[in-house]
Amino acid sequence: MKSFYNLALCYFAIVNSLLSQDGNTPTNFQIDAASIGGVQLSWETPENFRRQWISHSNLQYFGGIGASSTPAFYCHKFPDSLLADYHGMLVKEIAFVPSADSDSASFQPLVFETDSSGLIPDIVGRTNLVLSAPKVSFSENTAYENEWNTIQLKNHVPGQSIENDVIPSTYEIDSTKTLWFGYWLYDYVNFPAGADIGPANESLGNVIIWCPVGGCFESTLNLSAQEGSSLDFDWLLSISLLPGSNSEDSREVILSNSNNNMIPNSSIYNYSMENVKIDIGPLKEDVWIEPINSNGRDISNYFVFENGVVADVVQPDYVNFNTTIRESSLLGPRNPGIYSYYVRAQTAEGLSDSSNVVSVELVNTLPGSFDMIAPENGINISVTSSNINIPNMFIWTNSVDTDGQELTYSFEMCSISDNAVCFDTSMTERILQLTNQSIIENLNLTNGNYDLSWTVNVSDGIDITTIGGSGSDSIRYLTFSVDQLEVDDPDMPIEYSLRQNYPNPFNPSTTISYKLGKSEFVNLSVFDLNGNLVKNILNHKADAGRGYVEWDGKNEQGQKVSGGIYLYVIETPSFLKSKKMLFLK
């Protein structure tokens, strides 16, 4: 019976998974890493939004090309013989690389479709223009040098200017036609058209359409090169494709930048071809071009759910050309427990179905062991007027937290007597400098010889590890002699101070000590790290001398606060000081 029950559950899970995979749903959701320090999740972009980029270029940048400021259409040509694998695919974006070898240039992206008779695009009349995109230019800071500029293509409205092209592309490739895509380059000097390292795909990836007085004609970079020179390169151009209504291809996603700057039409014909000199600018061996990127505008964001509640909102990521596409989310520190995750995509059609569910149990790992370094056990420190302000170095090795959480060290020093006095302080470093004067003040020492002990704990905010573990070196001792130094009566301080709370870290309560140089009004409060008041503990006139207050980890409403680091601040007309403390929950 149990076997049948498990089989039924398995069948239900498979059917549910198949029904949910409607093309808009993220797939292959998984946990890549999980600990108390954070959870790394990843998933594949939904099938309907996976882009494939096509190009004749090898996409490796060589330099910039210009033609004596003469406008022309620089493009890639895909005849019907090369479109069979892409029939029915939806054309979405165009991407190209402008060169930095120019101070001015304007680029008007255009996509034409012609029949297979060998006719070139109608650049002037645009009768076979199918897609356009907003023009970009250096002068308007909308074109970016030495990097991929990726722009969403729009349906061209026949008979109208391209300013009216505002509807995102719905154009699907017809493999019986010839496709031409590129940009009309104008208003430029020097060498703004980016080219790859070659060799050229002659008459495919290096096509130029010139439109001098008398009509337009097709050429290539090699054919247009100056006599005796060679320009064996392709243009750095590409277009992105998505599965269309007549295609069933599964394509990787490349996400893109959107540029919505529209400009009036420019005159793109009747230029003279006299004195046209097409040439390449300086070789750019030190320039590396990032792979094609695009921003997945079709998915506005992903919602990552943790135990049924949204834990993260993720915008589609930037990914490299021709890589396996996975989106990701990194969640911050979590408390120990069992967690279940899934993701949903927000598309134009609404919120997608849920991806597969993944679960994990998080267990906190203790901070790693660590040991004392200095000072040596049993050392004698004799205090004189000449060394009272010289720091003593207390040093220990690093503790490592495998969960990746921030560690806080708590140093404690005590005088060993019938009425033991201790003080402690917290830090993230593994070195503490204490002057002889600070030791005297913190332990209320007068003239005499004292046996002192010191130890260190480390906390990840949940658990604590003691230095040296349970070994004999978990506590070190020293002799502290102040018999050669006259020390003021500790009950009559002449200075103001705020001491480190004790114990620290703490739960459920801690003591905060201070001393005042004279009788005056005192305010002592606890704040969170954002500066919000948590609890006002002291707010009245106090006598000169030493005093202390206790905090029980509760706020003004009497509620226990959450674990973490808090600030406590003392303020008088003559003194202002703050320190940190760690509350363990």
Distances (CA, A) of 247 to 86, 88, 114, 144: 8, 5, 21, 34
Distance separating alpha carbons of residues 169 and 153, to the nearest angstrom: 6
Under 8 Å between Cβ of 42 and 327: yes
Q: How many other β-carbons are positioned within 10 Å of the β-carbon of residue 484?
A: 10
Contact 304, 41 (CB under 8 A): yes
Tell me 492's DSSP state: S
Give the pLDDT confidence score for residue 286 in this predicted structure: 57
Report pLDDT for 318. 42
Q: How many residues are listed for the chain in this entry?
A: 585
Q: Are 143 and 224 in contact (CB under 8 A)?
A: no
Q: Where are the alpha helices (DSSP H) in 78-167?
A: none
Tokens of 341: 């995750």
What confidence score (pLDDT) does residue 230 get? 84
Dihedral angle computed from the Cα positions of residues 438, 441, 442 and 447, in that order, rounded to the nearest 10 degrees: 110
Q: Which helix (DSSP H) or strand (DSSP E) does residue 11 occupy? A: helix 2-20
Reference 414, options 466, 480, 484; nearest CA is 480
| Phi and psi angles of residue 158, each rounded to the nearest 5 degrees, phi first | -55, 135
Residue with tokens 């991407």: 95
The pLDDT value recorded for residue 486 is 55
User: What whole-number distance in Å separates Cα of residue 360 and Cα of residue 351?
Assistant: 25
Q: How many angstroms separate the Cα of 26 from the Cα of each of 31, 230, 302, 354?
A: 14, 48, 9, 7
Task: From 10, 169, 192, 202, select the one nearest 89 (Cα to Cα).
Answer: 169
Q: What angle do CA 390, 374, 582 make, to 5 degrees?
A: 85
Residue carrying structure tokens 């106090």: 542
Q: Give the count of alpha carbons within 13 A of 266, CB side only.
A: 20
Give the pLDDT score at 419: 65
Distance in angstroms (rounded) separating the CA atoms of residues 532 and 535: 9
pLDDT 10s digit of each residue in the chain, 585 long?
333 333 333 333 333 343 344 788 999 999 999 988 899 999 988 887 778 889 999 988 899 999 989 999 999 999 999 999 999 999 999 999 999 888 899 999 999 999 977 789 999 899 999 999 999 999 999 999 999 898 999 999 998 999 999 999 999 999 999 999 999 999 999 999 999 999 999 999 999 999 987 789 999 999 988 777 789 999 999 999 888 765 444 333 222 222 222 223 334 444 455 557 677 776 655 555 665 554 444 788 999 999 999 999 998 864 434 445 688 999 988 889 999 999 999 988 889 999 999 999 999 999 999 999 999 999 999 998 888 889 999 999 999 998 888 899 999 999 987 567 888 888 999 999 999 988 998 888 888 889 999 999 999 888 899 998 766 678 999 999 987 665 444 444 457 888 888 888 888 888 898 888 888 999 999 999 888 999 999 999 988 888 889 999 999 999 999 988 999 999 999 899 988 888 887
Closest among 332, 403, 325 to 368, alpha carbons compared: 403
CA distance 13 to 21: 12
Torsions phi, psi for 231 (to 5 deg): -125, 75
Helix (H) or strand (E) holding 13: helix 2-20
Contact 307, 331 (CB under 8 A): no
Whole-Å CA distances, 45 to 298, 351, 368 = 11, 14, 39
Pairing, β 497-498 against β 476-481: unpaired
- Whole-model pTM? 0.52
Question: Residue 221: is it exposed, middle or buried by C-beta count within 10 angstroms (0-12/13-18/19+)?
Answer: buried
What pLDDT sits at residue 274? 55
DSSP classification of residue 317: P
Angle at 565 between CA 564 and CA 570, to 5 degrees: 140
Cα–Cα nearest to 251, from 49, 18, 95, 94 = 49
Distance CA 234, CA 58 (A): 8
**Tokens representing residue 215 in the block:** 């009509």
* CA angle (397, 403, 408) in 5-degree steps: 45
Q: Put residue 338 in one of left, alpha, beta given phi > 0 → left and psi -120 to 50 → alpha.
A: beta
Q: Could you please report the per-residue DSSP string of 219-272?
A: EEHHHHBPTT------B-EEEEEE--TT---------B------------S-B-
